[in-house]
Structure 1
Amino acid sequence: MAEPYEGVAVSARGLTRTYGRAHALRDVDLDLAAGQVHGLLGRNGAGKSTLMSIATGQEYATAGEVRIFGEHPHENEGILPKICFIRESQQYLDDIRAVHAFRAAADAFPRWDWDLAERLIHEFQVPEKTKIKKMSHGQRSAVGVITGIASRAELTLFDEPYVGLDPVARSQFYRALLEDYTEHPRTIVVSSHLIDEIAHLIENVVLIDHGQVMLHEAADDIRERAVTLVGRDDAVTLIAGDREVLTREEMGRTVRVTVERALSDAERRRAAELDVDVLPVGLQDLVVHLTTREQTSSGKENGA
């Protein structure tokens, strides 16, 4: 079994988790570099939460192993204080108030920042003395995201953290997370199925589907893998050349085609001469295109 290499925050080898006959994770090999923001993407039920739970020592793998900063996380007093895991369905004791939750977090995380926490409490308008169970869904979510950001844990994981937050609060969360990460770099993993909302945050993309890693690339590399061309059919066809077509829409004499591979500078100049608009492809659309193709290819190879 390969050993985790230096500079890796999360390393999984052959990671499998089954519940009866169902596979939540299936033979996952994965390395997440330290000091980056990773997007753990996929549909609900894809295996994202299970991977996070095992990585944080809250669940055991059926087979394989996971290491955090080179060590096993389970009951590891040297590693667990370095990990902050914020679930969408974060559970709290019945009588606990937000102020109690923040004090507990301050005791648990050596790098906790009270000044940052107080500022975020004000920004998110969290009632510190209200029992958490009596808060709105959005307020409970705010308690979680504030804890995750202010913990400044070396490895911070957010599992669908925005659920319950309105668009303004989600924007506040993304801004606060990015600003503090820029000033205090650490390893952050954000699980989401709303890919375009977090596209500006993430440096590395991990796509999980049916318990398997379908895609693992730098976000910038993925963005360079496709482009959308809009113009006359003959002009678009000329610019597209031999590129594989991912999608095609016809609108009268105009066509809109998404193709693999970015254009060269010369091709962009030629596109402008032919009145072909060259548009970027959203990360969410691109991930859908690429994974749909990979799933189709896999099915053909398996005789489907």
Structure 2
Amino acid sequence: MTAVIEVAGLHKRYRDTDALTDVSFAVEADAIYGLLGRNGAGKTTLMSILTAQNFATGGRVRVFGEDPYENPRVLSRMCFVRESQKYPDDAKPRHAFAAARLFFPNWDDDLATDLIEAFQIPVGRTIKKLSRGQLSAVGVVIGLASRAEITFFDEPYLGLDAVARQIFYDRLLQDYSLHPRTIVLSSHLIDEVANLLERVIVLDGGRVVMDEDTDAVRERAATIMGDAAAVDAFCAGHEVLHRETLGRVASVTILGALTTEDRRMLADARLEASPVSLQEFIVRSTQHAASTPAAPAQEGALR
């Protein structure tokens, strides 16, 4: 695989606050990435730097092997759909689409028209009078119809109802299968987008705490439930990410894949084991990392 984005030791500081600290990762061509993390984790700052809309304090960024800042060869191959996108007061959706048509060399008018109809966007109304969901839909149309080689979606679902979000997910997968490109999707609705993602990069406190294939992440934890004493006895040799109790029943999320011997012991102790969703694993892992004393980081591991 070819890396289209390479980040090494990236640092961003706002006055007395570190938004990004020693961020390093690579993004491969023709894959769907999830850039995940809590509010304030640094996701939007990172995407802004990658698309040359913000400046790094330190570190190195290369997109298609080049520095993206003031580089039209790179910028014309990327699309950044951000939640806080600003438009002129008198701009209408048709103006935004016309501008995108001129800027993006791979723009597909037929796809844009189809998406405008699917999202029921009033193209003749001024953008400032659109609902939150309609404004988000304008960004989604531009992001998909641009067919840019790298497309960043920063919280694209904001304001979209469940039906509109599903339209977005379906159309994204459908067009991606026909026209592969690199898509970086930032979202809080991790369970909704989990099936779209091939790899996840998780930021927490401005640092990368996870950079793994999605399938590998799903196998890294399990939840054990049953009699509290039996659960605690089984989990004694495992790293515990989270523990809840209700009376004599306990539910414990442990780190690590279950072995054949583990499953035999669970059956003997009449305990239940269930897989952990991507969202639950990320939530539990970041909570656990925040409450655990710092230790030297290892590539591909929580830190």
- TM-score normalised by structure 2 residue count: 0.90
Equivalent residues of 2:242, 2:288 under 8 A apart: no
1:190 Cα shift? Answer: 1.0
After the TM superposition, which residues 110-149 of structure 1 pair with which residues of structure 2 at under 5 Å, given as runs?
110-149=105-144
Q: Which amino acid letter does the alignment assign opposite residue 63 of structure 1? A: G
1:79 aligns to what?
74
1:177 aligns to what?
172
| Alignment counterpart, residue 42 of structure 1, candidates 37, 40, 46 | 37
Q: Distance between the aligned counterparts of 1:265 and 1:81, measured in 2?
A: 51
Gaps of 5+ in 2: 297-303
Q: Distance between the aligned counterparts of 1:258 and 1:209, measured in 2?
A: 20
SS at match of 1:78: helix
After the TM superposition, which residues 147-186 of structure 1 pair with which residues of structure 2 at under 5 Å, given as runs?
147-186=142-181
1:249 Cα shift? Answer: 2.5
| 1:14 equivalent in alignment to 2:9 | yes
1:255 aligns to what?
250
Q: Which moved more, 1:212-221 or 1:155-164?
A: 212-221
What does the per-residue CA deviation read over 1:250-295, in whole Å, with 9 as the maximum and x for residues that have no partner? 3344332211222234644664565433211121221122223333
Gaps of 5+ in 1: 1-5
After the TM superposition, which residues 1-304 of structure 1 pair with which residues of structure 2 at under 5 Å, given as runs?
7-233=2-228, 235-236=230-231, 240=235, 242-265=237-260, 267-268=262-263, 271-272=266-267, 275-299=270-294
Report how many residues are paired. Answer: 296
Q: Which moved more, 1:37-46 or 1:140-149?
A: 37-46
Q: Which amino acid letter does the alignment assign opposite residue 150 of structure 1? A: A
1:232 Cα shift? Answer: 3.1
Q: Distance between the aligned counterparts of 2:273 and 2:210, measured in 1?
A: 25
Q: Distance between the aligned counterparts of 1:213 and 1:274, measured in 2?
A: 38
Q: Which amino acid letter does the alignment assign opposite residue 108 of structure 1? A: F
Q: Distance between the aligned counterparts of 2:83 and 2:18, measured in 1?
A: 22
Q: Which moved more, 1:282-291 or 1:63-72?
A: 282-291
1:54 Cα shift? Answer: 0.8
Q: Which amino acid letter does the alignment assign opposite residue 89 of structure 1? A: S
Q: Which amino acid letter does the alignment assign opposite residue 17 of structure 1? A: K
Q: Which amino acid letter does the alignment assign opposite residue 60 of structure 1? A: F
What does the per-residue CA deviation read over 1:223-267, in whole Å, with 9 as the maximum and x for residues that have no partner? 111011222345545654622222223334433221122223464
2:301 aligns to what?
none
Q: Distance between the aligned counterparts of 1:84 and 1:109, measured in 2?
A: 8
Q: Distance between the aligned counterparts of 2:24 and 2:236, measured in 1?
A: 36
Q: Distance between the aligned counterparts of 1:265 and 1:116, measured in 2?
A: 49
SS at match of 2:158: coil
What does the per-residue CA deviation read over 1:142-199, in whole Å, with 9 as the maximum and x for residues that have no partner? 0001110111110000111111112221222122212221222111111123322222
